[in-house]
Amino acid sequence: MEKASTDTQLIEEKVKPEYTLTKDQTHNKFSSTIAPILTVKSGAIIEAFTEDASDEQFNLNSTIDDLKNLNFDPIHPLTGPVFVEGAAPGDVLKVTLHEIEIGDWGWNAIYPGFSFVADSIKGEYLRLYDLKNNKTKVNFNDSIQLKLNPFPGVMGVAPATSELLSTIPPRANGGNMDDPNMTVGTSVYFPVFVEGGLFSIGDGHAVQGLGEVCGTAIEVPLRIVYEIELIKNKSIKEPQYETDDYYATTGYGTTIDIAAKKATLYMVDYLMEEHGLSENEAYALCSLAGDLKIAETVDLPHMLVTMHMSKDVLGIK
């Protein structure tokens, strides 16, 4: 696999994996009944290879006919789950993304009926990208070039249900958040709902805009090195994340309004609990310095909104 380096990746300190998970060690549902493929202690460093979102239904020679024959049943093969010793409902798992390398190819498509404006734009589209030779940029056309920013579109823990849930919508357990800010150097916090947490990762993207409005990014296989830690003194309802520059909350909902309200309220909670603000002070600060961002619009029935709060503002950078 070839590495797509970004400025962040160049400064991210290399870590040595203790465990390796292959792209064949996958599942494509979220459920408490899916058995772990690995058990680790808090602080473990894991190297995970992931397949593309289609489960290898495409390749560099694919045509629009392959898109027409796309089978949604295998979509989102996720590498995992990983059981963390001592993790129990009410705890938090912290997952830090140390390294991300893209495979040597990727695809982007518009599938009829599956996009943010599917009622207005109904065409079919498939574009294959050759990503070999350590590419850091790709040509969209002769005049438009895109800088690669690889990240896993799906990260999540098991929900407290024996039902086999689709990986397509984001939920409180994380899942298909499709947030390009969750890349190298980011630490993502997940609420634990079942013993061990049962963390899984996949749905590699080489580059994607916030919203993923056409339904896909440049979908790619990935090699990911991540660290997973158990936190006992922190409780959250939905995933949160942080970089060197900001802290972020996420909220999912069946509408942008619902998701945005939840992301805002979670940020208010964070500011009260971690920075000693009163409720009104926290709410006012969200209005003055909080940035709401639409992360995901296409994975019905849910959408995902985040709120970012600068660490410079909070005085913790």
Look at phi and psi of residue 193 and say left if phi exceeds 0, alpha if psi is from -120 to 50, else beta.
Answer: alpha
* Cβ atoms < 10 Å from Cβ of 65: 9
Task: Say which residue the tokens 């940020």 belong to.
Answer: 267
Task: Say which residue the tokens 């494509």 belong to.
Answer: 28
Q: Give the per-residue pLDDT at 12.
A: 47
Task: Please say which residue of 192, 214, 236 terminates a domain.
Answer: 236
Rounded distance, CA 266 to CA 262, Å? 6
Q: What is the mean pLDDT of residues 288-304?
A: 96
Rounded distance, CA 215 to CA 1, Å? 25
Give the side-chain half-sphere CA count within 13 A for 171: 18
12 located within any domain: yes
Residue-averaged pLDDT of the chain: 94
The answer to whether residue 1 scores a pLDDT higher than 50 is no
> Are residues 132 and 165 located together in one domain of the fold?
yes
Contact between 41 and 14 under an 8 Å Cβ cutoff? The reply is no
259 located within any domain: yes
**Domain range for 265:** 244-314
One DSSP character per residue, 188-203 reads: EEEE--STTEEEEEEE
Task: Say which residue the tokens 């407290």 belong to.
Answer: 160
Provide the domain count of the chain.
2
The answer to whether residue 6 scores a pLDDT higher than 70 is no
Task: Please say which residue of 236, 255, 271 terminates a domain.
Answer: 236
Q: What is the mean pLDDT of residues 232-247?
A: 96
> Are residues 73 and 131 located together in one domain of the fold?
yes
1 located within any domain: no
The answer to whether residue 2 scores a pLDDT higher than 60 is no
Return the higher-pLDDT residue of 10 and 187.
187
Return the CATH number at 80. 2.60.120.580
Q: What is the mean pLDDT of residues 288-314?
A: 96
> Are residues 183 and 232 located together in one domain of the fold?
yes
Return the CATH number at 255. 3.10.28.20
Return the higher-pLDDT residue of 133 and 206.
206
> Are residues 210 and 260 located together in one domain of the fold?
no
99 located within any domain: yes
Lowest mean pLDDT among 1-10, 43-52, 247-256: 1-10
Q: What is the mean pLDDT of residues 10-29?
A: 85
291 located within any domain: yes
> Are residues 140 and 184 located together in one domain of the fold?
yes
Q: How confident is the model at residue 133 (pLDDT cuts 50, 70, 90)?
A: confident
Q: What is the mean pLDDT of residues 208-236?
A: 96
Q: What is the mean pLDDT of residues 78-101?
A: 98
What is the value of pTM for the model shown?
0.93
Q: Give the per-residue pLDDT at 10.
A: 40
Q: Give the per-residue pLDDT at 13.
A: 58
Task: Please say which residue of 181, 207, 236 terminates a domain.
Answer: 236
Strands 38-40 and 78-84, sheet pairing: parallel
Report in angstroms the alpha-carbon separations of 316 from 163, 190, 266, 279: 41, 22, 19, 20
Counting residues of the chain whose pLDDT is more than 70, the rounded percentage is 96
283 located within any domain: yes
> Are residues 87 and 216 located together in one domain of the fold?
yes
> Are residues 252 and 208 located together in one domain of the fold?
no
Q: Give the per-residue pLDDT at 3.
A: 45
> Are residues 144 and 285 located together in one domain of the fold?
no
279 located within any domain: yes
